[in-house]
Amino acid sequence: MQSVFMEAPASFKTRLVFGIMLSALLFLHCYWYTLFFVMLGKYLSKGQVKDISETDADNRKYNAATSKTTHRRAKKAN
């Protein structure tokens, strides 16, 4: 019994694209695990973790009304 893969071998281009995509997947896998272990290490050492994607600029952009209201209230209180 012969293998199906032996009857129709993939072209060089197909193998090249597959290799590039597989390498990209491996790179992303290592990157995500690195992020996870860095966050885990920070959590175990400090007891808290802040997501690096959550910045103050993002919060002001998406919560503009809340930020302005809070600033106005703080000015009135002073």
The pLDDT tens digits of the residues spanning 21-76 come to 999 999 999 999 998 998 888 889 988 777 666 666 656 666 555 555 555 555 66
- Residue 60 neighbours by CB under 8 Å, 6+ apart: 67
Rg (CA), the chain: 25
Q: Whole-model pTM? A: 0.50
What pLDDT, on a 0 to 100 scale, did the predictor assign at position 12?
A: 86
